[in-house]
Chain A
Amino acid sequence: MQAFVERVRRDSQIVMRPAELIEQKRNGGEHDAAELSGLVLAYARDEVPDYQMAAWCMAIFFQGLTARETHALTDAMVRSGETIDLGAALGRKVVDKHSTGGVGDKTSIAVGPIVAACGVPLGKMSGRGLGHTGGTLDKLESIPGFRVELTTEELVAQLRDVGMAIVGQTADLVPADKKLYALRDVTATVDIVPLIASSIMSKKLAAGAQAIVLDVKVGDGAFMKTLDDARVLAEQMREIGTMAGREVTCLLTDMDQPLGRAVGHALEVHEARDTVRGDGPGDFTELVSRRPPGCSHIPISGSTSRRAVAGRRPPSTTEAHSTRSSAGSARRAATRAPTRSSLLRSGGS
């Protein structure tokens, strides 16, 4: 198992002065790959202070990053921690799926079994995330007894046996992103497209899937409000992935209204299950089952293998009191606290 978890923390030998890089970016210059790599790796090692990184991020807000810079930044972030090669561990192609986040987005929970049933292993490392309704891990934890923390060995075994795994991060992936995102969150530098793209893609690249499907949400409840903005983000992420030798497909999907009917963890798990059984709401069913035009290479449609999906226990979820306009007496339902202190972020949401 050690073979595919490799630490690639390369010491950078470059003499790098953060203040000069901030000035260069502020003045509209372009960093070379070595400069970017030096800055990011030094930041991850706590050798560059937050205030310099914050100033640098703000300079990027105004001056942007070139495609070359975005690629170099992503590459450096991947190299800041461990990487996993799921394909090598399984000896076959593994797909990953990521959403930029939206209201009622339970897509992974329904699409995972569908892809696995097509004979394509879907391995997804998911986050919890701040925001309206947490992340996929939070939703899954509304199933009593569901364990989202698997070791890398368990993850590989489950992918081999079941064909699907949605788990919390197993390894120390992309520590530079964790640090940088926390900083951006409090310095008004979250909404910078190349930084969003590199944040999402660094985690996808480090997690090791060969094919990556990105669901970029667009509209009122999404980070990207307009189709044009979403397209720019999608193209940047696709370019990063392609340069790293991965197959990337981006779907731009509506988030003006909630996806499906259910918003909330147990409710969403129920809806995902109903949808896999063919009894889901129209929009969500279309999203998880329809092959998008021009996407014939998307794995969901590509296989004719009739491999059964071994399920975990059927979801019997905790449910709260239901009310229509006026409430009756509330029934106590078990409150489940997240079992893990290290919170993972689902990028962009």
Chain B
Amino acid sequence: MSATRDGIVTRLGARDIGNAALELGAGRRTKADTIDHAVGVLCFAKRGDTVLAGDDLAEVHARDDEAAERAAAAVLEAYTIGDAAPAERGILLDVVA
């Protein structure tokens, strides 16, 4: 999936990406579901990254063309590209010890 415009990634929705992976077969909806170990999503661009139109945002690993197309659309939905940098949010938010 490529960026459709220049800008900064202001959002990369974890739940949306998770759902795309689930659709591809990486997860279970019920306990009896089997998992496809090979499928998934690689998100090259993360929140706060500057991208140019045409840059690769993400890559989908799918079992077939149809699943790939569906997941690609979902992954694009997970990205929001804007003009202003998003608020800083590091990986470690707090410690309770």
How many positions in chain B have a CB within 8 Å of any CB in the partner chain?
53
Q: CA separation between A231 and B90, bound complex, in Å?
A: 17
- Least CB distance, A261 to chain B, in whole angstroms: 5
CB distance from A126 to the nearest CB of B (A): 14
CB of A221 within 8 A of CB of B18, answer yes
Among A129, A141, A221, A259, contact of B37 (Cβ-Cβ < 8 Å): A141
Looking at chain B's contact residues, the main secondary structure is mixed
CB neighbours (8 Å) of A150 from chain B are none
A267 to B, closest residue via Cβ: B40
Cβ of B91 and Cβ of A130 under 8 Å apart?
A: no
Of residues 1 through 31 on chain B, the ones whose CB sits less than 8 Å from some CB of chain A are 1-2, 11-15, 17-22, 24, 26-31
B14 near A102 with CB under 8 A, answer yes
* B51 interface contact, C-beta 8 A: no
Inter-chain residue pair count (beta carbon < 8 A):
228
Stretch at the interface among A45-53, A92-100, A132-140: A132-140
Q: Does A156 contact B (CB under 8 A)?
A: no
> For residue B81, which residues in chain A have a CB less than 8 angstroms away from its CB?
none
A130 touches B31 (CB 8 A): yes
Find out whether the CB atom of B95 lies under 8 angstroms from the CB atom of A249.
Answer: yes
In B25-49, the 8 Å CB interface with A consists of 26-31, 34-44, 46-47
- Return the chain B residue nearest A329 by Cβ: B65
Interface centre among B29, B31, B35, B72 (most CB of A within 10 A): B35
Contacts of A256 in B (CB 8 A): 11, 13-14, 47, 89
6 residue pairs A–B, Cβ–Cβ below 8 Å: A103-B17, A230-B93, A257-B12, A317-B37, A327-B64, A330-B63
